[in-house]
């Protein structure tokens, strides 16, 4: 686990929502205090050199650094599969990494494998610690970055019904039907529909209103006939 790149769960889901990968939940790999829970593998037929490149900065106005996903692949297993050395962290990772103060409840952990493409410099002080990265090889051109994105990044997911598209993870988010009275989610159509109880209640109310309307009309006609009969005999 310490050799891998560990991302907060939302970033992890976002990354593998766009990157070609076969992911599985594996609760047996949970580490106390950190909580790695998912593993993703390179699909057969996908060349590592065609994978997209992660870009990031160490500070807001710093230089853009590149971390090719091919550098995060573990050696092939006995079945020939290659696992991405990327993990999803739980909020409990905060206590294990920085018990006093963390900028996020789910910090990004850069393991030894993720450090290989860089020269790393560490400055440790009694009150502050800093780290600096420099690339070991020239960065890929914008043309090459675009080519890789077009070649292997997933297509945009098509949403249906009332689903909302979330670009960060390339997925469709269902409507919040629980926030609406007497409505439930129809997963097949992706829309909120009234519950059977609500439909039955509406049917009963319509029946009562219809019966009341008919009764009102009946009494009005009867009153009119009685009034007419009284006038004729006056």
- Residues 129-177: tens digit of each pLDDT: 888 999 999 999 999 999 999 998 888 889 998 899 998 889 899 988 8
At 76-90, the pLDDT tens digits run 888 888 999 998 875
pLDDT band at 31; cut points 50, 70, 90? very low
The whole-number average pLDDT for the span 221-233 is 63
Average pLDDT score over residue span 40-59: 91
- As given in the structure block, the two tokens for residue 30 are 């949970």
Does the structure show a pLDDT above 60 at 23?
A: yes
Closest CA to 156 of 148, 146, 168, 142: 168
Q: What is the pLDDT of residue 97?
A: 45
Q: Which residue has the tokens 């076969």?
A: 22
pLDDT at 198: 67
**Ramachandran class of 123: left when φ > 0, alpha when ψ lies in -120 to 50, beta otherwise:** beta
Residues in the chain: 234
Residue 46 pLDDT more than 80? yes
Contact 192, 184 (CB under 8 A): yes
* Measured distance CA(54)–CA(68) in Å, rounded: 6
Q: Are 160 and 190 in contact (CB under 8 A)?
A: yes
State the pLDDT at residue 137.
Answer: 93
Report the candidate in 187, 213, 178, 184 with the shortest Cα–Cα distance to residue 199: 184
Domains annotated for the chain, with CATH where assigned, are 5-152 (2.40.70.10), 164-194 (no CATH)
pLDDT score for 91: 46
8 Å CB contact between 114 and 72: yes
What is the structure's pLDDT at 140? 94
Residue 36: pLDDT band by 50, 70, 90 thresholds?
A: low
The whole-angstrom separation of Cα 156 and Cα 168 is 11
């Amino acid at each position: 686990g310490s050799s891998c790149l560990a991302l907060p769960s939302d970033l992890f889901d976002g990354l593998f929502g766009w990157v070609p990968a076969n992911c599985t939940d594996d609760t047996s790999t949970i580490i106390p205090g950190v909580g790695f829970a998912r593993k993703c593998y390179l699909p057969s037929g996908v060349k590592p050199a065609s994978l997209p490149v992660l870009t990031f900065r160490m500070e807001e106005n710093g230089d853009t650094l590149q971390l090719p996903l091919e550098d995060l692949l573990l050696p092939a297993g006995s079945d020939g599969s290659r696992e991405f050395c990327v993990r999803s962290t739980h909020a409990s990772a905060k206590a294990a990494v920085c018990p006093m103060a963390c900028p996020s409840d789910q910090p990004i952990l850069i393991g030894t494998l993720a450090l290989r493409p860089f020269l790393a410099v560490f400055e440790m002080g009694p009150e502050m610690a800093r780290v600096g990265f420099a690339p070991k090889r020239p960065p890929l051109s914008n043309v090459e970055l675009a080519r890789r994105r077009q070649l292997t990044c997933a297509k945009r997911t098509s949403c249906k019904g009332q689903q909302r598209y979330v670009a960060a993870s390339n997925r469709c988010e269902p409507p919040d039907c629980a926030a609406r009275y007497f409505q439930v989610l129809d997963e097949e159509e992706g829309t909120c529909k009234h519950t059977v109880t609500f439909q039955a209640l509406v049917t009963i109310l319509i029946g009562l209103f219809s019966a009341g309307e008919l009764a009102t009309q009946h009494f009005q006609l009867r009153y009119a006939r009685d009034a007419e009969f009284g006038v004729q005999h006056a």
